[in-house]
Chain A
Amino acid sequence: MSEGTRLENANPVIFQRSGDRVQTASEEDEDVHDPIDDREIFDLIRSINDPEHPLSLEELNVVEQVRVKVNDAESTVGIEFTPTIPHCSMATLIGLSIKVKLLRSLPDRFKIDVCITPGTHASEEAVNKQLADKERVAAALENASLLEVVNQCLSTRSI
């Protein structure tokens, strides 16, 4: 990596990963219906890789469980994510990765809303608008090089 491509934030604060979800007896029970809850959605997105660091979004505190809101009955998911620095140029890419991960992992019935935690990014509105625009998200995924970066963020790393 040469001088020109220095990381924007070389020494971010690291947060601890939460453990695996504890399996409960009701999950083993065939007859009980397990609703899709906040933790389940959080488990889907917490292991997404950061585009710059060999760390997950959870470790960088970009996503938190308290900022995940799901309503199984009404089929809506709302997620707020927090870029590590207010000028982070990767914010759109991170948002796109979260959105794509959820599109792939949730049933069609869900309406997925991904946006930046209010007040944590310089161009918050622009990014939110891009992420909310279905056409633009679809167009972005037609772009092979963009799709490649997103796929790299979404592929499971062995930790």
Chain B
Amino acid sequence: MAADSTLALSLVEEFVSGLQDSKAKDAAKGVKDGKFTVLQLVEALGSSLTSSQPHTRARGVLLLSEVLQECYRDLTEREVEVLIAFYENRLKDHYVVTPPVLKGLKELTKCTNLPPGSAVSMLRSVFQDIHVQSLMLSERACVYSMLINIMETREAELKGLGADFVFGFVQSMDGERDPRNLLLAFQIAKNLIHRGYELGKFTEELFEVTSCYFPIDFSPPPNDPHGITREELVQALRAVLTGTPNFAEFLLPLLIEKLDSDVQSAKLDSLQTLAACVSQYEHKHVAEFLQGLWTAVRREVFQTSSERIESAGLAALTALTSCLSRSVLSSDSEDSLSTFLDFILTDCKHHLCEPDLKLVWPSAKLLQAACSASTSASHIITAAVMPSLLEQYNNRAQCSHRRTLLEVVQRFIHSVKNCQSSDNDESVFLAFRESLCGVVFSALSENNSSLQITATSVLTSLAQQAGLLLESDIELALDHLTRLLLIEEDDRVSLAVAECAGALAQLHPALVISKLIPRLKNEMYTDQGEASELHSHHAVRQRCLSALAAVSIQPSVVQESTPVLLEVLRSAHTGNLAKKIFSVDEVVLTCRSLQRIAEQVQDTEEAGRCFHNIIIPHLLSLALQAALQGEKGSVKGLTSFILRHQNSFNLNLLSITYELTDFHPLSPEATTASRAVSLFLDGDVSFLPDNSFPSHMQLLKGDSWSLSRLVCLLMGSVCSLPRSVEVPQIDKLLSALEEMSCTCSHPLSYTSAAKCFAGLVNKKPQGQFVSYSLDSCACPQVSKALLLRYHPLFTTLTDKLFSLLDDAGLGPMAAADGFSLLMSDSTDVLNRACHADVRIMYRQRFFSENKAKLVQGFNAAPQEKKPNYLKALSNIVNKLPKQVQVTELPALLSLLLEALSGPDQDIHLTTLSCLEPVLVNPPQVLIHSLNDDSVFSFTLQSVRIASLSCISALSYFPVLPFRARVLRALAKPLDDKKRLVRREAVQARAQWFLLGSPGGR
């Protein structure tokens, strides 16, 4: 024991007199290891604590505090009590002693076994003996942390202190300036409010001491190590100010005052705080400020200069209205809501009568914001506004006025929809149903396209109001829509009409089936004898087809609409010239409509079955028939058309099968796939309707291109399967495809075969590989399939691709197509939608593995082969993700610039387009070469445009010294002979003029 006290003594000696800070650690270790207790340490400190030198005493206390920092967990309650008494006493000492004393007290507040009453006595002495704001930054932080610690553990005791605690806190934070401490202080204030401390008569003081920071104006210094943002402070302060309704009488006038400020951020903050605070308030808190708040919000929305402020103002108005609406239910205060709405109505309603003036929209927005707050508010406002809007509509003759009015009506219906979701009251608009329908139908019969478009969107909104429209209204609406579809020429109108019909079909499928579809079907099959009418009838059919696609969302509608479409295809195929004529465009559009239906139809088993059992076999059989007839030479009429345009036909079919694979993962599509495989390999046609095909067709071996290109149908059926589904007879299939891709001479056939092959290879399980001999055509496709899944065989294939770059004949083709194919996202087979095995970052991997090879090859290549390499490089870099481009570009810049100075304009275009987004830190050389007048003398206007947009992009970087030169150089393309180039030049020059200019950038 004696030895231990000497140890303690020597440590004290070295720390206090020797000023060795590390000894505090040793002392703490001693206490922890049980060599001496804290109280023994205090005894050892005796002489230094009683020294006549304040600095020695401070040093002594510091040692004790630092030891406490390490071992506050191990203290007994008795020890804590003694230490607290000691520290409280020290607070009265010389000011240099205060910092270590506060530090010690802070450590003690972390103890879990504080004796009862000690927290209170500690706080009393802190509030009494020291003036917080005259302390240094870190000591003030110490006091705030003390408060936070005690509030966590001793809430009951502190509440016993009553309002004195609040007063003490208010005094200690009054005048705080440091953002770090403010965050702590705001947290304490928030705790005071949210945990129900009694504020008593100090409510206003607490509000004053915090609200004086509102609105927060703080911009962190550059290189701020503490990382405090303005937003953090704003949120912390807002939590305090909006925390309690008791602040209402102080906060609301403050907000009204700050809203009048010229500073945009202050306005925004005030509006957001307003929206946040009223969610806590009741009507009695806001009643007396309603007029002022309304005036302020109205001014911001009427005269706004920024959309953020406008939307914040509208949000605040909505919050305020819903605050007033809440209390209606509970008390006698119907008044305050209706008074407030009266303010709004008197100020805004008359603006709605001037549909060509600016304020019509701000007024409508304000009314709609209030309207969307609650059902009662929407009842009051619509009752006041709707009659006059509808009357206006009927009185105005000008279409633009009518359209504005109709748009306002539409927004009203929409805003009411927002607030009505939960309660199933009858619709607010029930009283106006008849007149609204009248207005909509009259607008639909009007001869103005924008009016018609607006009317369709009103109709959609009305239909979405649950229980508003009667069945007869919908029927009438469908009649109008059908009429528009049949007669209206304007594309935008028919698009809007189709969209509206789609929305109606979602809600009322039965009516659409019984009213709309039969009429469209009828219209499509009626004969138009006159040749002059043929053209317009053609357009009608096209609109009918798109409308059919638009309404087919519900499975029940799909079952009615798809037979119509299939019928079109069939009659286009079998029909002869004399009778019904469906032009090629119509056939293509029909396929596209089917594709669209496949994309949008609701994912149900019913719809899936319909597609797999009816539509796909029909389509396959039609394609096959067309191909067969082509082979026999009995091509006549439309069959030839179909054949000529089979590409798009087949591709559409393909995407239909893709879309469908997202349906029920296993059953139907596996059958489709195996049927397709057996059709192609064995000529099994049993599943096709109209079974009149010769048996044992050789679809994969024939020489006829019309049959062989059906392979892309196979691709559609088998390549979209998920990896888990096994393709039957896969090895036989693969070798057949491989042979076809090598021997077939028809481009579509051999690319499809290669793609199909690649798609299957990509999904083959690891380890089942045979090395396939590959010819040059399939090479890019297959390398891509392997690259995507990081297969080891891939490197041999890339080597082959690189060697092709030196091939005189294949070089340009392989370079341009091969590498861009390798790097780009594949649209048909090798993508995630088709369940291909796509690893992340395969592009980066390819680039980093092969860039050296590329540069080497470029340097070694003879002069006439160099363009091939540049083209390959340009294609690769263009497809890399931006982040990689940014880091890799500087190294490749010289090569790319060389590409720019070459003769090939296609290379210029790709190179420039990959340069533009990555110009982060443009080296001088780049600016010089872009600035060169020769850049503007390219013959292709697309290249001139691309280089100008590069220059425009450059203006975002620190390039001020070049401003004058660039502006001079840009004067020349202003007089370019092509308008599009001039437009780009004007934009680039405007950007450069703003650079470094006041009010610019």
Q: Chain A residues in contact with chain B, CB under 8 A?
A: 1-2, 7, 10-14, 16, 23, 27, 30, 33-34, 36, 40, 43-44, 53-55, 104-109, 144-145, 147-152, 154-156
B999 touches A (CB below 8 Å): yes
Determine whether the beta carbon of B994 is less than 8 Å from that of A14.
no
For this complex, 21 residue pairs linking A to B, each with C-beta atoms less than 8 Å apart, are A1-B262, A1-B299, A1-B303, A2-B262, A11-B354, A14-B357, A23-B980, A27-B978, A27-B979, A30-B941, A34-B978, A40-B979, A43-B983, A55-B358, A104-B990, A105-B990, A107-B971, A107-B974, A148-B998, A150-B999, A155-B1000
Given contacts A10-B303, A11-B358, contact A107 B975 (CB under 8 A): yes
Determine whether the beta carbon of A109 is less than 8 Å from that of B975.
yes
B302 touches A (CB below 8 Å): yes
Chain A: minimal CB distance from B133 (Å): 34
Given contacts A30-B940, A150-B999, contact A10 B359 (CB under 8 A): yes
Q: Which 10 A-B pairs have the closest CB atoms?
A: A148-B999, A151-B999, A107-B975, A148-B998, A34-B979, A33-B977, A105-B986, A11-B359, A151-B1000, A107-B974
Q: In the assembly, what is the distance between CA of A155 and CA of B983, in Å?
A: 15
B152 touches A (CB below 8 Å): no
Q: Which residues of the partner chain B approach A148 to less than 8 Å between Cβ atoms?
A: 998-999
B939 touches A (CB below 8 Å): yes
Closest to B980 in A: A27
Chain A: minimal CB distance from B66 (Å): 56
B448 touches A (CB below 8 Å): no
Determine whether the beta carbon of A54 is less than 8 Å from that of B979.
no
Determine whether the beta carbon of B358 is less than 8 Å from that of A145.
no
Q: Which residues of the partner chain A approach B1000 to less than 8 Å between Cβ atoms?
A: 151, 155
Given contacts A54-B304, A107-B974, contact A151 B989 (CB under 8 A): no
Closest to B355 in A: A14
B522 touches A (CB below 8 Å): no
Determine whether the beta carbon of B974 is less than 8 Å from that of A105.
yes
Determine whether the beta carbon of A154 is less than 8 Å from that of B998.
no
CB-contact partner of A147 in B940, B983, B990, B999, under 8 A: B999
Considering the complex, which residues of chain B in the window 959-982 have a beta carbon less than 8 Å from any beta carbon of chain A?
A: 971, 974-975, 977-980, 982
Residues 322-352 of B, flagged 1 when their CB comes within 8 A of A and 0 if not, give 0000000000000000000000000000010
B776 touches A (CB below 8 Å): no
CB-contact partner of B999 in A30, A33, A54, A149, under 8 A: A149
Give 18 A-B pairs besides A2-B262, A11-B359 with Cβ atoms closer than 8 angstroms.
Answer: A1-B262, A1-B299, A2-B260, A11-B354, A11-B357, A13-B356, A14-B358, A30-B939, A55-B358, A105-B986, A108-B971, A147-B998, A147-B999, A149-B999, A151-B994, A151-B998, A154-B994, A155-B999
Q: Which residues of the partner chain A approach B354 to less than 8 Å between Cβ atoms?
A: 11
Q: Which residues of the partner chain B approach A1 to less than 8 Å between Cβ atoms?
A: 260, 262, 299, 303
Q: Which residues of the partner chain A approach B971 to less than 8 Å between Cβ atoms?
A: 107-108
Q: In the assembly, what is the distance between CA of A53 and CA of B164, in Å?
A: 53
B993 touches A (CB below 8 Å): yes
B997 touches A (CB below 8 Å): yes
Determine whether the beta carbon of B998 is less than 8 Å from that of A104.
no
Q: Which residues of the partner chain B approach A27 to less than 8 Å between Cβ atoms?
A: 978-980
Q: In the assembly, what is the distance between CA of A33 and CA of B975, in Å?
A: 11
Given contacts A104-B993, A105-B974, contact A13 B357 (CB under 8 A): yes
CB-contact partner of A106 in B357, B974, B990, under 8 A: B974
Chain A: minimal CB distance from B404 (Å): 9
B305 touches A (CB below 8 Å): yes
CB-contact partner of A54 in B305, B400, B980, B982, under 8 A: B305
Q: In the assembly, what is the distance between CA of A108 and CA of B939, in Å?
A: 23
Q: Which residues of the partner chain A approach B990 to less than 8 Å between Cβ atoms?
A: 104-105, 154, 156
Residues 287-305 of B, flagged 1 when their CB comes within 8 A of A and 0 if not, give 0000000000001001111
Determine whether the beta carbon of B941 is less than 8 Å from that of A145.
no
Closest to B356 in A: A13
Chain A: minimal CB distance from B966 (Å): 13
Chain B: minimal CB distance from A57 (Å): 14
Q: Which residues of the partner chain B approach A30 to less than 8 Å between Cβ atoms?
A: 939-941, 978
Closest to B940 in A: A30
Q: Which residues of the partner chain B approach A105 to less than 8 Å between Cβ atoms?
A: 974, 986, 989-990
Determine whether the beta carbon of A104 is less than 8 Å from that of B989.
yes
Q: Which residues of the partner chain A approach B260 to less than 8 Å between Cβ atoms?
A: 1-2
Q: In the assembly, what is the distance between CA of A40 and CA of B985, in Å?
A: 13
Q: Which residues of the partner chain A approach B940 to less than 8 Å between Cβ atoms?
A: 30
Q: In the assembly, what is the distance between CA of A68 and CA of B941, in Å?
A: 27
Closest to A2 in B: B260
Chain A: minimal CB distance from B364 (Å): 13
Closest to A60 in B: B358
Q: Which residues of the partner chain A approach B306 to less than 8 Å between Cβ atoms?
A: 54
Q: Which residues of the partner chain A approach B975 to less than 8 Å between Cβ atoms?
A: 107, 109
Q: Which residues of the partner chain B approach A36 to less than 8 Å between Cβ atoms?
A: 982
CB-contact partner of B998 in A2, A43, A145, under 8 A: A145
Determine whether the beta carbon of A16 is less than 8 Å from that of B998.
no
Q: In the assembly, what is the distance between CA of A108 and CA of B359, in Å?
A: 41
Determine whether the beta carbon of A53 is less than 8 Å from that of B358.
yes
Q: Which residues of the partner chain A approach B358 to less than 8 Å between Cβ atoms?
A: 11-14, 53, 55
Q: Which residues of the partner chain B approach A104 to less than 8 Å between Cβ atoms?
A: 986, 989-990, 993
Q: In the assembly, what is the distance between CA of A106 and CA of B974, in Å?
A: 6
Determine whether the beta carbon of A7 is less than 8 Å from that of B986.
no
Determine whether the beta carbon of A12 is less than 8 Å from that of B357.
yes
Q: In the assembly, what is the distance between CA of A14 and CA of B977, in Å?
A: 35
Chain B: minimal CB distance from A135 (Å): 21
Determine whether the beta carbon of B304 is less than 8 Å from that of A151.
no
CB-contact partner of B977 in A10, A34, A106, A108, under 8 A: A34
Determine whether the beta carbon of B303 is less than 8 Å from that of A144.
no
Determine whether the beta carbon of B303 is less than 8 Å from that of A151.
no
Q: Which residues of the partner chain A approach B400 to less than 8 Å between Cβ atoms?
A: 16
Q: Which residues of the partner chain B approach A144 to less than 8 Å between Cβ atoms?
A: 998
Q: Which residues of the partner chain B approach A154 to less than 8 Å between Cβ atoms?
A: 990, 994
Q: In the assembly, what is the distance between CA of A108 and CA of B400, in Å?
A: 41
Closest to A53 in B: B358
Q: Which residues of the partner chain A approach B304 to less than 8 Å between Cβ atoms?
A: 54
Q: Which residues of the partner chain A approach B302 to less than 8 Å between Cβ atoms?
A: 10
Chain A: minimal CB distance from B993 (Å): 5
Closest to A33 in B: B977
Chain B: minimal CB distance from A35 (Å): 9
Q: Which of A7, A40, A104 is most buried by chain B, counting CB atoms within 10 A of its CB?
A: A104
Q: In the assembly, what is the distance between CA of A1 and CA of B974, in Å?
A: 41
Q: In the assembly, what is the distance between CA of A82 and CA of B990, in Å?
A: 25
Chain A: minimal CB distance from B128 (Å): 46
Q: In the assembly, what is the distance between CA of A7 and CA of B305, in Å?
A: 12
Closest to A107 in B: B975
Chain B: minimal CB distance from A5 (Å): 8
Residues 758-799 of B, flagged 1 when their CB comes within 8 A of A and 0 if not, give 000000000000000000000000000000000000000000
Closest to B975 in A: A107
Closest to B360 in A: A14
Q: In the assembly, what is the distance between CA of A154 and CA of B302, in Å?
A: 23
Chain A: minimal CB distance from B349 (Å): 14
Closest to B985 in A: A105
Determine whether the beta carbon of A44 is less than 8 Å from that of B986.
yes
Q: Which residues of the partner chain B approach A7 to less than 8 Å between Cβ atoms?
A: 303
Q: In the assembly, what is the distance between CA of A10 and CA of B302, in Å?
A: 8
Q: Which residues of the partner chain A approach B980 to less than 8 Å between Cβ atoms?
A: 23, 27
Q: Which residues of the partner chain B approach A150 to less than 8 Å between Cβ atoms?
A: 999
CB-contact partner of B997 in A44, A106, A151, under 8 A: A151
Closest to A155 in B: B994
Q: Which residues of the partner chain A approach B982 to less than 8 Å between Cβ atoms?
A: 34, 36, 40
Closest to B363 in A: A11
Q: In the assembly, what is the distance between CA of A62 and CA of B356, in Å?
A: 15
Chain B: minimal CB distance from A13 (Å): 5
Chain A: minimal CB distance from B999 (Å): 3
Q: In the assembly, what is the distance between CA of A26 and CA of B305, in Å?
A: 40
Q: Which residues of the partner chain A approach B979 to less than 8 Å between Cβ atoms?
A: 27, 34, 40
Residues 393-429 of B, flagged 1 when their CB comes within 8 A of A and 0 if not, give 0000000100000000000000000000000000000
Chain B: minimal CB distance from A21 (Å): 9
Chain A: minimal CB distance from B942 (Å): 9
